[in-house]
Structure 1
């Protein structure tokens, strides 16, 4: 749990009498979300939601796949799940615990190659094809696990597309090694820090991350690039479904979407998938056609 959420938990735990006396609107809304949205949630959406007085944002960031596994296995319980891949919602529906009955796609963010401006490879990335630089001896590449995180899976996909587009057999394996290569694979929530501290020279990041953190980056061509597709849902067993509904309505509404765009996300839809009858009434206005 990141610092803001940890402190909130400590305060609530230390002052039970005060917490018990709060109105329903001030109750915590627990949100499990893709680690690539850390800055957005901590400095944008979370504080803005808190300021409305409709609830208190309490978040936990991690790889979307890992979070989905923890929800399915009963290791984490929350009100809301925000994923970087629509497919992960399907792993939580129906016979997989029936925790997700609907979800809404609300934003996208293309994959980019971020780099350390102090790396000895930085100059090459400005003057040479990126796929040639990634093959240079000694370059330290950071990426996430393709099994546990959609960004890791998109990284593999991009390299496979590049291999075909540039007619370079073996490019993907030469750059990435094995899919779970321990020399490259890092938890999503720590990958940015490793780049900023000089532990890796380059990494695969979403546009929202490089925009928020001012990471120099190489944009990938349109025929190769892949993008995160962010979705949000209220989990069926949410402890605070009313507060969760308010949070989702805010994020999908005009103020929330403006914050998303300021943090480098491309807003889409919002597009509903799943059981429309299970969607809270509060959300129907923001999901209406033309919104």
Structure 2
């Protein structure tokens, strides 16, 4: 066993007693993408009112959460910002099935001085003096979707991909904020590390609530990349499967719509 594997195994072993204790307390364990934090909290509260069963949720980049499950950490429900991750776990029988439950789009949040509009979007973002922040590809689907946007931008303005790829500041997605910590999108502007930030439109709404002096622009359809969120329950978890059915049902969809998910 390598040192890295031993450390991972120790972390999983330490997590299991807490997992078992929370299940005894009539609570299901949920791993969810960071962009779902606010809406998942309300979904969990609504589910508790209906079923008497609560959720204990942990959040992070979807790719890392998938790796955690693949390494043996048992959870009741996994909600990913990319359906590909839940599809892969379902194919390995680590989830009973994978279902698309929400969609999100990309927006760009920026300072007013940037003067961002639909017409000047690509031309402005490639400027050397505009500091462009993004999430981290591979670890976080939002980063993957952002790089797809860069490729779409290259079709509209040849050479844009290389410029955007070279200048992008990967300020989020490699790890999740700890409990009580501010969103990395907020701190990027508060600490003056970015002039513009590509993020989910739902995250843009949260960022503007914290920093109303900023502006948000939804990337035009011709350049945007729509993300499909996937959810699935562990085969052993009947309560997890009931929670997934709730999220996919009318009450769950109504809550998702209120938070800007399609």
What's the secondary structure of 1:184's corresponding residue? strand
Alpha-carbon distance in structure 1 between the residues aligned to 2:171 and 2:252: 32
Alpha-carbon distance in structure 1 between the residues aligned to 2:142 and 2:80: 11
Name the counterpart of 1:149. Answer: 140
What's the secondary structure of 1:88's corresponding residue? helix
Q: Would you say the 8 A contact 1:143–1:191 is kept in 2?
A: no
Name the counterpart of 1:203. Answer: 197
Q: Would you say the 8 A contact 2:87–2:97 is kept in 1?
A: no
Flag structure 1 segments of 5+ consecutive residues without an equivalent.
1-11, 267-291
RMSD: 2.6
Alpha-carbon distance in structure 2 between the residues aligned to 1:19 and 1:187: 29
Q: 1:254 aligns with which of 244, 250, 253?
A: 250
TM superposition score normalised by structure 1: 0.71
Q: Would you say the 8 A contact 2:87–2:98 is kept in 1?
A: no
Measured at CA, do residues 47 and 115 of structure 1 come closer, stay the same or move farther in structure 2, by a change above 3 Å?
farther
Aligned length: 231
Name the counterpart of 1:58. Answer: 56
**1:255-283 CA distance string (max 9 Å, x none):** 111111100011xxxxxxxxxxxxxxxxx
Measured at CA, do residues 213 and 161 of structure 1 come closer, stay the same or move farther in structure 2, by a change above 3 Å?
same
What's the secondary structure of 1:211's corresponding residue? helix
2:162 counterpart of 1:173:
yes
Measured at CA, do residues 127 and 146 of structure 1 come closer, stay the same or move farther in structure 2, by a change above 3 Å?
closer
Name the counterpart of 1:45. Answer: 43
Name the counterpart of 1:225. Answer: 224
Q: 2:186 aligns with which of 188, 193, 205?
A: 193
What's the secondary structure of 1:125's corresponding residue? coil
Alpha-carbon distance in structure 2 between the residues aligned to 1:207 and 1:54: 32
What's the secondary structure of 1:246's corresponding residue? helix
Deviation larger for 51-60 or 219-228: 51-60
Flag structure 2 segments of 5+ consecutive residues without an equivalent.
1-16, 177-182, 210-214
